[in-house]
Amino acid sequence: MGNLEALVGKFGRSFKAGDHVFFEGEEGRELFLVHSGEVRIYKTIGDRELTLGVMRKDDFFGEVAALLGEERTASAVAVEDTTVIAFPTDILEKIILNQTEVAVRLLKLMSRRLKAADDLISILAQNNPQARVVLGLIKLIGEEGEETKDGIVVKLDPDVLASQVEVSGEDLKEVLKLLAKKGIIVPLAEGRVSVTSHEDLDEFYQFLELQARFGS
């Protein structure tokens, strides 16, 4: 992390909670790396916002527009007080050539983003909103879950998950309540939940699929 720390002084920018890093439609002149805090990436569709993801420490974002020299296809807003490293596109190639750590992180990021996009497309193809919630949880714990002796712990923002899988807040609340009643998830402090296992979520998803196919 030493090289990245050195870049903060030269390219670091700080944002207060609610400040935008960039807006959809702006020219992509920089690639960003979260140094501290959180940034929500969202797209405006009509009169609503679709959350595409939440970037945390050491996550890159804004890479597509920056690398292709195109307009931003989404907006980025600070969820809390945040510091990012902004890499200008005119020196990005030089940084990648000289900062091996940055290049490796960027390659890994692009691979993860491609997989995440495919996963989200599959989730949104589901007609059953309950199934979308469960698949969204499976995707979340796969990407951000931490294995513990009590299960897989993950930070869960209901508004973000509901937006990502395109369900109402009430639909999401009902599914989470049902999962908690069945002991598949356990609410924890600070907006976190513990999931008993991937297998339990998979089995519940299969149950929803059978219920949708053959009726309750």
Tokens of residue 26, six digits: 């702006």
CA dist 61 and 54 (Å) reads: 10
- Asked whether residue 90 falls in the same domain as residue 23, the answer is yes
Greater confidence, 72 or 111? 72
Domain containing residue 148? 126-214
* Angle at which helices 129-144 and 169-181 cross, to 10°: 70
CA dist 21 and 86 (Å) reads: 10
The enclosing domain of 101 has a CATH number of 2.60.120.10
- Asked whether residue 137 falls in the same domain as residue 168, the answer is yes
Greater confidence, 22 or 106? 22
Which of 64, 89, 114 is a domain's end point?
Answer: 114
pLDDT higher than 80, residue 159: yes
Task: With cut-offs at 50, 70 and 90, classify the pLDDT of residue 151.
Answer: confident
- Asked whether residue 78 falls in the same domain as residue 134, the answer is no
pLDDT higher than 90, residue 207: no
- Asked whether residue 141 falls in the same domain as residue 101, the answer is no
* Angle at which helices 129-144 and 100-124 cross, to 10°: 160
- Asked whether residue 205 falls in the same domain as residue 160, the answer is yes
Which of 114, 149, 180 is a domain's end point?
Answer: 114
Q: Which pTM does this prediction carry? A: 0.62
Which of 64, 82, 114 is a domain's end point?
Answer: 114
- Identify which of 11, 62, 3 has the alpha carbon closest to the alpha carbon of residue 32: 62
Task: With cut-offs at 50, 70 and 90, classify the pLDDT of residue 1.
Answer: very low
The enclosing domain of 199 has a CATH number of 1.10.10.10
Residues 108-141: pLDDT tens digits? 777 777 777 777 777 777 888 888 998 888 888 8
Average pLDDT over residues 159-187: 88
The verdict on residue 120 lying in a domain is: no
Cβ atoms of 158 and 172 within 8 Å: the answer is yes
